[in-house]
Amino acid sequence: EAGVTQSPTHLIKTRGQQATLRCSPISGHTSVYWYQQALGLGLQFLLWYDEGEERNRGNFPPRFSGRQFPNYSSELNVNALELEDSALYLCASSFFAEAFFGQGTRLTVV
Amino acid sequence: EDQVTQSPEALRLQEGESSSLNCSYTVSGLRGLFWYRQDPGKGPEFLFTLYSAGEEKEKERLKATLTKKESFLHITAPKPEDSATYLCAVQAPWAFQGAQKLVFGQGTRLTINP
């Protein structure tokens, strides 16, 4: 069974640009979580989608947004990129129990 | 507010030296507690789920236990390949029926020296 897949693996953007990150959950999973992990730091909760709806968001500015599609895949959009947005962005999916993570997208803002 | 605190932040052990990592939680209505292992630059790898106090799970050199306020990850005779950051997370009910939220601790960075 395929795990959580994220694309792209690496992304390099210039300050002020927009980035779009994608996540395909495990088949049957309806919840998708997004986390930001800056170098050497813990997981910071960004967004949680369930059944196509945004259920909760972390303490991040509105330029971090996303959506979940009818097939439960999800995308994370980051507008007006800043240097401090450089981090590993992790997606996880679950269905009422443990969450499984993808390998992440490494976003570098230069 | 739901909180998860892991200790210590970092731990260095010699190969074969057993120890325990702690995860303390404050959550209303625990639905599940999860342990993950994360290698640098990679996504966390799921290890265990614990649902109720007194429950134990084992996998190779790792054993996870759960009480009403904390969980322990015991590492027996560790090897250098066990070096990683170990994350604890709790699942708690959300405001509306049937939904859950996931709260992570900051992790324990474990280094096993040969």
- B24: phi then psi, degrees, rounded to nearest 5: -100, 140
CATH of A5-109, one of 3.40.640.10, 3.50.50.60, 2.60.40.10, 3.40.50.10310: 2.60.40.10
Give the distance from CA B58 to its chain's centroid: 13
What CA–CA distances, in Å, run from A50 to B49, B79, B91? 21, 39, 15
Q: Rounded to whole angstroms, how far apart are CA atoms A56 and A31?
A: 11
Residue B67, domain extent: 3-113
Helix, strand or coil, per DSSP, at residue A5 = strand
Q: What is the mean pLDDT of residues A64-88?
A: 97
The angle formed by the CA atoms of residues B107, B109 and B112, to the nearest 5 degrees, is 145
Residue B38: give its domain's CATH number: 2.60.40.10
Domain boundaries, chain A: 5-109
**What is the amino acid identity at position B91?**
Q
Using the predicted structure, report yes or no on whether residue A40 has a pLDDT greater than 90.
no
pLDDT (tens digit per residue) in A7-32: 999 999 999 999 999 999 999 999 99
Residue closest to B105 by CA, chosen among A16, A42, A90, A50: A42
Best of A9, A101, A105, A108 to substitute, by most chain B Cβ atoms within 10 angstroms, is: A101
Q: What integer pLDDT is reported at residue B94 of this predicted model?
A: 61
pLDDT (tens digit per residue) in B2-29: 789 999 999 999 999 999 999 999 987 7
Instruction: Residue A92: list chain B partners with CB under 8 A.
Output: 43-44, 102
Q: What is the mean pLDDT of residues A59-66?
A: 96
A80 φ/ψ sector (left φ>0, alpha ψ -120 to 50, else beta):
left
Residuewise pLDDT in 10s, chain B (114 residues): 778 999 999 999 999 999 999 999 998 778 899 999 999 999 999 999 999 999 999 999 999 999 999 999 999 999 999 999 999 999 877 655 445 678 899 999 999 999
Task: Provide the number of structural domains found in chain B.
Answer: 1
Q: Do B100 and A101 touch (CB under 8 A)?
A: no
Q: Do A103 and B43 touch (CB under 8 A)?
A: yes
How distant is the Cα of B7 from the closest Cα of chain A, in angstroms? 13
Q: What integer pLDDT is reported at residue B98 of this predicted model?
A: 46
